[in-house]
Structure formats: structure tokens, C-alpha cells
Structure 1
Amino acid sequence: MAAWSERLAGVRGVLLDISGVLHDSGEGGGGRVPIPGSVEALARLKRSQLKVRFCTNESQKSRGDLVGLLRHMGFDISEGEVTAPAPATCLILKERGLRPHLLIHDGIRSEFAQIDTSNPNCVVIADAGESFSYQNMNKAFQVLMELDNPVLISLGKGRYYKETSGLMLDVGAYTKALEYACGIKAEVVGKPAPGYFQSALQEMGVESHEAIMIGDDIVGDVGGAQRCGMRALQVRTGKFRPSDEHHPEVKADGYVDNLAEAVDLLLQYAHQ
């Protein structure tokens, strides 16, 4: 692997995942705790000349609630710096005249308050947590099967994520079940969808070759970013597993122990 000076040269913008990079989640998304060194690392990064934006698939809390929690933990972050799937999905629904049946967590229901949900002509699925019951999954299935041209929109495509109590199934597993049962392909709003990364880059104001993604998901964060022409680092925190470094299809541009190490390297080499 090339030296860090070569791998990080010319970076002008940094996209940061949140869960597993800044903090670990407690059970049910509560009791979130900062990963050691991450608060200080973010502060150092934001004092530098590098542009910073947060790119998350968080779909259990509204963007405002998420930012409030992060600020309470000590992170320097504002709502306008966060690219999140729920607001992006609302824009799509309005643009296309879609009326969703919502299979989502109550924590983000407020994001859809201005969306017409009468007589649904699509299904929106997110990380619904305990709401992923047989009854709720079957209702989403029934709505899709009654449509001539079923539309399924998934907020992210993650397989699992990490809470302090262990690994938890993510929305991607449930999306796949509906895809299989209905014989359709979901539209993904969130990582690793290329359009989601491109939106974050546009909001940050940098080209893909000038940006680097830092995340804990080898497929969603690293692979998704690299397919958009970005560089990507994987942190050995969050849901990282040692086998990720030997993934058969995705190879990160570098592996770091945590965000603090990534920031050390970026501040040393990015401007070369």
C-alpha cells in the first residue's frame, strides 16, 4: 500500500459517518456514548482548512434530535452540516407526487409531517427498530402488492450496526425481504447510493477526487464512497470486524484505529 503522503495528498473535504465513528449507540439508540478521542478529533479537524460534512444513514432520530444529542455529547456540529436520508426522501416524495405508507421509527415520523400519506402509492422503509413486527412488515407487503407499479424506497441499505449491547439488524435486511416477496428492487436513499454521496459532496463544495470518507462500514461507507471516485478510510471502531480488512471486493485506502488517528494523518498529509 502506498505511503500515507500519497494516499491523502490533495484532500480538501472530509465526509464523516456518525454512528460507529463519533459515537457508539446504546440499546434502542439511547445512551449513546462518544468513542474515546472523537470529540477532540472533530474539534481539531474543524479548526483546520479542511471542509467537513457528516453523511449518515441515521433513521431512528430526526436530524434535529440527532444533532441535539451529539452537541450534548460535546461535538461541534450543526443541523445544516448533516446529510441524512429522511429529509432527502421527503424531497423525492414531493417531487414525484408519491404518497407513502411509512414503515419507520417513531423518532423520525416528524420529518414526514408535511407529506400526504392518504391512499398510499409507495412504501418508505427505514430502521423501524421494534416496529419491525410481522404485522407491520405484512402491511407494507400488502400495500406494495396492491399497486400496479410498486415503489419501495429504503432509507439506507445497511445489513447491521453496532449498539453497546451488540450487533443489530439494520433496515437492509427487511428491505431485502420485501424485495424478495414482491419481486421488486428498492430505491435506496442513503449510503451506499451514489446520488446520496454526490449530494453530500455538492453541499460541501468539493469534487469527488478531493474528498475522503471516514466510516466503520466497509461496504456502505468505504465501497460506496470509492464507487463515486472518493477515497475512503475505515476506522476500527463501531461495527468494524477484522475480516473487513480482507473483504473480497472492497479495500479501503487505509485502516485507522479511530477518528483521532485519521485526523492526525489528515492534518499531516492532506495539504501536500
Structure 2
Amino acid sequence: MNLLKNPRLNGVLLDVTGVLKDGGTAIHGSVEAVRKLREAGLKIRLVTNETQVTRRALAENLLDLGYPVQELDIVSPCPALISFLQRENLRPHLLVHSNVLPEFEGIDQSNPNCVVLGDAAENFTYEHLNEAFGILINMKKPRLFSLGRGRYYSDKEGLMLDVGAFTAALEYAADVKAEIIGKPQPEFFRSTLKDMGVEPEEAVMVGDDVVSDVGGAQDCGLTGVLVRTGKYRPSDEKHPTVHPDAVVDDLAHAANLILESRK
């Protein structure tokens, strides 16, 4: 699909880290870009695999940076996973960031029958990983849930290992296939579009991850735009299987393309 020839675009999905902000700083031009998209009447969702903070804390941080967003605009893996755990009567062993533990307060965690992995950051110690491995390897039918599968992300200190690297380690050690909650899983995109009331061909995803953001969105029929901010690497433009519909310098550039395509 040619982004510049799609006047039906009326839904915009935006990654957060690497598109709206880098660490605690708003990426230049992105605040105004979001305002322009909103003023044009476009439906917007912030689709993120962020699992170091709650949705409320993330919304507050974005508001402080000047973004016209609210908690309901944010789509993240934790709420979806918690609903699934409750439906399936699953009791998780959690290896997640301390900041998101309050999200799981109502979930029975005794005698765990599954393991949940999020972006635990400094909690990714050998001791904690080995504890999760021990639980998995002793289950008759081990279940491992990973809140995303990113390899790395961009922070103020540079590129940082993401949850996908630690998920792969546990998959290999315990001989189990992780169930991914978040990008690039199709259901994550489809449920977002359903909530927005937008068809795939009417939506565009803007992200800095060529596989999880762009590839995941394209697999569901959305237009996928890659930004050269955040964790973007020049090699992303030559990815062997994912070919973005557009590659732009930043969200400001992407917003201009989106608005021009609707004229």
C-alpha cells in the first residue's frame, strides 16, 4: 500500500519509546505532530510494549512532556495479560519490573502454574532468571508468557536489552515456546483496531522497531511506517523480510505524510 495514496486513513497507532520519547525527553517535533493529528480528527492509540511502568504512570509522564493524551489512549500488554490470567485461572510467577507489580495485586500468585516475563530491567539477575527456569522445568505442561518480544530498546543511556533476549534464554533452557502478549502478535493490533472502530486498511502504525512495529502491523493489513529515531539502525531499511511502506526521519515527518495522504 502506498501511504501517499490512501485518503481513507483515519486511524493512527503510535509506538511510545523511540517515537514519542527517548528516555525522559520528548523527541523533537513529536508533541506538535500528535497535536496536528488530533486536530485533523484522526483516531490515535499509543500501542506500546512498555512494561516498566503502569499505564497511568506512562500517561502522566507523557502529559508532563506536553502530549495531549490520556490513560485510555494507551494500549499495553499488562491489562490484556491480566484478563487472560483471570479467564484461564492461571497463577503466575512474576519476573517483571517492580513498578508494575501493583497491576497484579488482584491475581493469585500462590503455587504458580505459569511464568510471566516483562521488561524487568535490573530485576533480570541470574538468581531471578534461574528461579523462573526452575519453576518452568518442573511443570508438567510449562507455560511461559512474555510481554513483548523486543530484542532491545533505546533509552537515555543508549540501546538496552529488552525482554525478548531473556525470553529466548528461558525458552531454550526449559524447552518451552513462549506465548507473546503485545507486539508483534496479530491479536494485539486487531483488538486495538476494533476498539478504535477502524479497519486495517484505514490505519497506519508508526514505530522505530522494524519487526514488532512495522512488520507486525503490516501482517494485519495496516500501513507500516518506520522512523529514524529511537532504536532505529540503518540496517533496518534493508531487512530481509520486512519492507516499510515509508521510512521517515521522525514522527513530525510521518504526520505530514499522513495528513497529505488524506487530501
Normalised TM-score (structure 1):
0.95
Question: Runs of 4+ in structure 1 displaced over 6 angstroms?
Answer: none
Unaligned runs of 5+ in 1: 26-31
Partner of 1:227 in structure 2? 219
Tell me, yes or no, if structure 1 residue 16 matches structure 2 residue 14. Answer: yes
In 2, distance between residues paired with 1:255 and 1:133?
Answer: 37
What residue number does 2:156 align with? 164
Deviation digits for residues 187-210 of structure 1, max 9, x if unmatched?
000000111111111111101111
Amino acid of the structure 1 residue aligned with 2:144: L
**Is residue 56 of structure 1 aligned with residue 54 of structure 2?**
no
SS of equivalent residue, structure 1 residue 229:
coil
Secondary structure of 2:226's counterpart equals strand
- For the Cα contact (< 8 Å) 2:47–2:76, is it kept in 1? yes
CA deviation string 1:60-81 (max 9, x = no partner): 0000001010101111111111
For residue 152 of structure 1, what is the aligned residue in structure 2? 144
Q: CA deviation at 1:9?
A: 3.2
Aligned positions, number: 263
Find the aligned partners of 2:159 and 2:73 in 1 and give their Cα distance: 28
Deviation at residue 220 of structure 1 after TM alignment = 0.4
Deviations 1:190-244 (A, max 9, x none): 0001111111111111011111100000000000000111111001100011111
Whole-angstrom CA distance in 1 between matches of 2:142 and 2:45: 34
Residue of structure 2 equivalent to 1:71: 63
Gaps of 5+ in 2: none
In 2, Cα distance between equivalents of 1:205 and 1:177 = 38
User: Counterparts in 2 of 1:188-267, with a 5 A limit?
Assistant: 188-267=180-259
* Distance in 2 separating the partners of 1:99 and 1:150: 12
In 1, Cα distance between equivalents of 2:137 and 2:146: 17
Instruction: Give 1:44 deviation, angstroms.
Output: 0.8
Write the distance in 1 (CA, Å) between the matches of 2:238 and 2:116: 34
Shift, 1:51, TM fit: 1.0
Q: Which amino acid aligns with 2:13?
A: L
Asked if the contact 2:205–2:222 (Cα under 8 Å) also holds between the matched residues in 1, the reply is yes
- Which region of structure 1 is more displaced relative to structure 2, 197-206 or 214-223? 197-206
One of 77, 88, 94 as aligned partner of 1:102: 94
TM-score calculated relative to the size of structure 2? 0.98
CA distance, structure 2, for counterparts of residue 113 and residue 130 of structure 1: 21
Return the letter of the residue paired with 1:167.
Answer: L
Q: Report the Cα offset of residue 266 of structure 1.
A: 1.0
Which position in structure 2 is the counterpart of 1:111?
103
Distance in 2 of aligned mates of 1:104 and 1:5: 41
- Once the two structures are aligned, what percentage of the paired residues are identical? 51
Distance in 2 (CA, whole Å) between partners of 1:96 and 1:58 is 24
State the one-letter code of the partner of 1:108.
V
Could you tell me which amino acid in structure 2 is paired with residue 201 of structure 1? L
Structure 1 CA distance for aligned equivalents of residues 226 and 166 of structure 2: 25
Matched, 1:80 2:79: no
Does the Cα contact within 8 Å between 2:4 and 2:258 map onto a contact in 1?
Answer: no
Partner residue of 2:166?
174
Q: In the TM superposition, what is the alpha-carbon distance from 1:268 to its structure 2 partner?
A: 1.4
Measure, in 2, the Cα distance between the counterparts of 1:165 and 1:155: 22
The aligned counterpart of 2:27 is: 35
* SS state at 2:247 partner: strand
